[in-house]
A = this chain, B = another copy of it.
Amino acid sequence: MSDLSARFSPSRREVLRGIGLVAGGAAMYRAMTALGVTRGSKYTGPVDLSGAPRGASVLVLGAGLAGMTAAYELRNAGYRVQVLEYNARPGGRNWTLRGGDTYTELGGERQHCEFDKGLYLNPGPWRIPYHHENLLHYCRELGVALEPFVQVNYNAYLHSPAAFGGKPQRYRSYKADYQGMVAEQLAKVVGQGALDKEFDKQDREMLLESLREWGYLDGQLRYTRNDGTSDTRGYDKDPGGGLSGKPVWSQPLSAKDVLNSQLWHALPIGDVYEFQTTLFQPVGGMGRIGEAFGRELGDLIRYNAKVTRIVQDEHGVSAHYEDAAHPGVTRQVRADWCLCTIPLSILGQIPMNVGSAMADAISAVSYAASVKIGLQFKRRFWEEDERIYGGITYTDLPIFTIGYPSTDFFSRGKGVLLGAYTWGASAFQFTAMSPAERVREAVRQGSQIHPQYANEFENGIAVAWHRVPFAMGCFGEWSDELRAKHYDNLCQIDGRIALAGEHASYLPAWQEGAITSALDAIGRLHQRAVAGAKS
């Protein structure tokens, strides 16, 4: 289980955020309600940009969610806005691959997505937490329909080739057995007086009573095979009706097996703030958000524009770029101010005259590795055969993740699984393969969990983020030390240039981080612009 350990142990929270690929927090833009802190907050609009100086202009580099949020708000506030975007489409890492799409990675390997109509892979972000309210705000404002995303599915699996003979365990059963074991052990020592100093008699009674309910313990505070435990871990034969309806209870796993299987690494994922219910996804793919922004901004965005140099002086900022349609020809645009949302992995290679504080910050942040692979199957066997409707299976095979679609439940057609979502060392292994090899390897590994793969697989597509030309990595990785040293320097306006993106946020990898960093940055740019116009 070394991979699972590495994934969840040293800084589980950070890594789990990474799993989400991109987004959420936004506290600055809210007014807390009169109900108090724990009662949530009401979204009160993004940022105050009133009083934009007449004729003031802003150049936005990058049409990902950060850049497009900025362009949208600045335009609405009266600024003249231009956006340069490397790709031929809006969205950046907000991206959905559908049948008919092509994608060429660094090195020149070109993939054609062969998914059937309606099926897709989100290579980047794929879920939206309920508290990523700025992102949700823009979905609503731009008319992007949302549907629930199922993260925790009690009927999906936890799996390790080294545990239980490689037999996948239903999440519900393993969770129940872990929780029952914890409750039984704690109840036992409470009964033996081990917590008498810590808790008074009433507290101890409450604790025992709560453990009994929460851990499905019997009257003797034991976690055993009975109707109660079967009604959480599942039955060998479900209860039904009539004379044939009597249920058959299931046998819990032993405490030793529960512990040493180490499948417990995956138990708390659904408790993480970003993965708690209720999560959402755009109907039709995450890319619907970027597409909606793109439609809204229209020809403010110049596509296929590869920025090659950024130069500021005391009056404004110029960006040099190459048009992919005319290789070798460099063009130039200029504005009073510049918001640059280009990933640091790319930006570090582009000449830009900023001070050493910002320059050092840009080069300090490395980018996480991640690979996502979408696999199309002839039928939705995970639903039809195994009653898995959405959610995620976790394994310590290098694929890490099998994600089941949270849409079109019960449909009889084909389906696309997220056949791998991996990071760290495993991601580098997959990145080193050719796209076709990645897909084959994902099918090979996934077959250990779903033997149906062998007969049902049709085609696949694989995105390795370190080979994505416009990102060269998945998201900016911050350690506490790096953040203490460089974060504020990265975010401070340097002359007429400000940076934004998930890398300039406390929400690495999340779309909400990109959006809130953009709102924060344009708020400060606006203040400079207003102050400059008055002076």
Please provide the chain A residues from 373 to 421 with a CB less than 8 Å away from any CB of chain B in the complex.
384-391, 406, 409-410
Q: Are A504 and B242 in contact (CB under 8 A)?
A: yes
Cα(A36)–Cα(B169), bound, Å: 11
Q: Are A237 and B189 in contact (CB under 8 A)?
A: no
Residues of B within 8 A of A247 (CB): 25, 27, 506
Cα(A388)–Cα(B230), bound, Å: 31
Partner of A216, one of B27, B230, B268, B516: B268
Say yes or no: is A232 at the interface (Cβ < 8 Å to chain B). Answer: yes
Say yes or no: is A352 at the interface (Cβ < 8 Å to chain B). Answer: no
| Contacts A/B (CB < 8 Å), 27 sampled | A9-B209, A26-B240, A27-B238, A27-B240, A35-B386, A38-B167, A40-B387, A130-B389, A147-B147, A148-B148, A153-B278, A155-B278, A176-B271, A182-B186, A182-B211, A203-B255, A231-B272, A231-B274, A240-B507, A240-B512, A241-B513, A241-B516, A241-B521, A242-B491, A277-B390, A278-B389, A280-B389
Cα(A280)–Cα(B183), bound, Å: 30
Cα(A409)–Cα(B283), bound, Å: 12
Shortest beta-carbon distance from A503 to chain B in Å: 10
Q: Are B148 and A238 in contact (CB under 8 A)?
A: no
Residues of B within 8 A of A521 (CB): 241-242
State the interface size on chain A (CB cutoff 8 A): 133
Tell whether A241 pairs with B506 under 8 Å between CB atoms, given A38-B234, A148-B148, A271-B232.
yes
Please provide the chain A residues from 486 to 535 with a CB less than 8 Å away from any CB of chain B in the complex.
488, 491-492, 500, 502, 504-507, 512-521, 524
Q: Which of A140, A237, A388, A521 has the most CB of B within 10 A?
A: A237
Residues of B within 8 A of A45 (CB): none
Shortest beta-carbon distance from A283 to chain B in Å: 11
Residues of B within 8 A of A235 (CB): 25, 27, 273
Partner of A214, one of B168, B237, B267, B278: B267
Say yes or no: is A451 at the interface (Cβ < 8 Å to chain B). Answer: yes
Say yes or no: is A262 at the interface (Cβ < 8 Å to chain B). Answer: yes
Residues of B within 8 A of A267 (CB): 213-214
Partner of A245, one of B168, B237, B239, B505: B505
Q: Which of A41, A175, A185 has the most CB of B within 10 A?
A: A185
Q: Are A506 and B26 in contact (CB under 8 A)?
A: no
Cα(A364)–Cα(B11), bound, Å: 58
For the complex of A and B, list the 5 residue pairs with the smallest distance between their C-beta atoms, beginning with the closest.
A242-B520, A241-B517, A241-B505, A25-B238, A241-B516
Cα(A272)–Cα(B232), bound, Å: 5
Cα(A159)–Cα(B220), bound, Å: 29
Number of copies: 2
0/1 interface trace, chain A 244-273, chain B, CB 8 Å (1 if under):
111110100001100110101101100111
Say yes or no: is A329 at the interface (Cβ < 8 Å to chain B). Answer: no
Partner of A277, one of B152, B214, B227, B244: B152
Q: Are B505 and A202 in contact (CB under 8 A)?
A: no
Residues of B within 8 A of A155 (CB): 40, 130-131, 276-278
Shortest beta-carbon distance from A239 to chain B in Å: 4
Please provide the chain A residues from 203 to 218 with a CB less than 8 Å away from any CB of chain B in the complex.
203, 206-207, 209-211, 213-214, 216
Say yes or no: is A133 at the interface (Cβ < 8 Å to chain B). Answer: yes
Tell whether A194 pairs with B202 under 8 Å between CB atoms, given A232-B272, A273-B231, A278-B150.
no
Shortest beta-carbon distance from A15 to chain B in Å: 12
Please provide the chain A residues from 1 to 45 with a CB less than 8 Å away from any CB of chain B in the complex.
8-9, 12-13, 24-29, 33, 35-42
Shortest beta-carbon distance from A248 to chain B in Å: 8
Residues of B within 8 A of A506 (CB): 239-241, 245-247
0/1 interface trace, chain A 178-196, chain B, CB 8 Å (1 if under):
1100110110010010110
Q: Are B199 and A238 in contact (CB under 8 A)?
A: no
Say yes or no: is A243 at the interface (Cβ < 8 Å to chain B). Answer: yes
Q: Which of A189, A277, A451 has the most CB of B within 10 A?
A: A277
Shortest beta-carbon distance from A499 to chain B in Å: 9
Say yes or no: is A359 at the interface (Cβ < 8 Å to chain B). Answer: no
Q: Which of A40, A169, A209, A492 has the most CB of B within 10 A?
A: A40
Say yes or no: is A154 at the interface (Cβ < 8 Å to chain B). Answer: yes
Say yes or no: is A77 at the interface (Cβ < 8 Å to chain B). Answer: no
Tell whether A12 pairs with B243 under 8 Å between CB atoms, given A40-B386, A232-B271.
no
Say yes or no: is A357 at the interface (Cβ < 8 Å to chain B). Answer: no
